[in-house]
Amino acid sequence: NERERNRVRLVNLGFAALRQHVPHGAASKKMSKVETLRSAVEYIRALQRLLDEHDAAAAFPDGRGRAAVGEGGGGGGYSSASPSSASSVPGSPCSSEE
């Protein structure tokens, strides 16, 4: 069926575009669709942690309250990465790879 082939082609093009925006997406071995989605979810979570940490640092520029960011349970598992570490996330829009 022509419509189904076109739909599948568009889905595949969408996954190809997504692979270009996630870390390791342009690697020599093509990631599966499941790997692409998992990688995208992890990448979004990492970027969200960076934003949360940046917001926390901006709210308390003198460093007060930074320890409270990771406390209290249910905080989403904040990492120890600093807001400036966006450049260390491979493929990050903030990286200087381009």
Angle formed by the axes of helices 2-19 and 33-59, nearest 10°: 40
Domain 2-63+81-86 has CATH 1.10.3470: no
SS3 state of residue 64:
coil
Dihedral of alpha carbons 24, 27, 29, 34, sign? positive
CB 13 within 8 A of CB 6: no
Most confident range, picked from 3-12, 28-37, 65-74: 3-12
CA nearest 59: which of 44, 69, 70, 71? Answer: 69
16 pLDDT exceeds 60? Answer: yes
Q: pLDDT value at position 12?
A: 97
| Global pTM value | 0.58
Q: How confident is the model at residue 60 (pLDDT cuts 50, 70, 90)?
A: confident
In the predicted model, what is the mean pLDDT of residues 31-54?
A: 95
CB 23 within 8 A of CB 39: yes
CB 13 within 8 A of CB 46: no
